[in-house]
Structure 1
Amino acid sequence: MNVAVLLLAIALVIVMAVLAALGAGKLARLDGASYPTALTRAAVTFAAVITLACTAASALPALLH
């Protein structure tokens, strides 16, 4: 049961990171950025969401005790 919840949480974080990256890339293109610049902004957004999720996950056990 715990493994299934963990895998679902990981999948949810990845889906949210991809959606945020797609949004950032689309907004960059609408702003007039070139494709490489839009791709870079999307990659930075994806990495930021994954980093934020990892930071929150590592801080969670300390908050629960």
Structure 2
Amino acid sequence: MPGLVVVLLTAALVVVLALLAAAAAGKLARLDGATYPTAISRAAITFAAVLTLAATLTGALAAVLS
């Protein structure tokens, strides 16, 4: 049971960090003069990139540790 809690908390932390990175990317895009659709697109790309990076790191660590 404690292992499941750690996994769920880690997943929640990764999603929160991805949301923060996406919000920052969207805000920076708007400050740079981008339109709202462009800013939302950049935020979505950043969100997906952070989640992809987290998944890649998890896979690499799983391969190394097992």
The alpha carbon displacement at 1:2 in A equals 0.3
Q: Which residue of 2 aligns with 1:15?
A: 16
Offset, 1:44: 0.1
Aligned residues with identical type, % of pairs? 63
- Does residue 33 (structure 1) correspond to residue 27 (structure 2)? The answer is no
Q: Matches of 1:33 and 1:48 in 2, distance apart?
A: 20
Q: Which structure 1 residue ranges, 5 or more long, are not aligned?
A: none
TM-score, length of structure 2 as denominator length: 0.95
1:45 aligned residue: 46
The residue type paired with residue 42 of structure 1 is A
Distance in 1 separating the partners of 2:11 and 2:26: 22
Per-residue deviation, 1:30: 0.1
Instruction: Give 2:59's aligned residue.
Output: 58
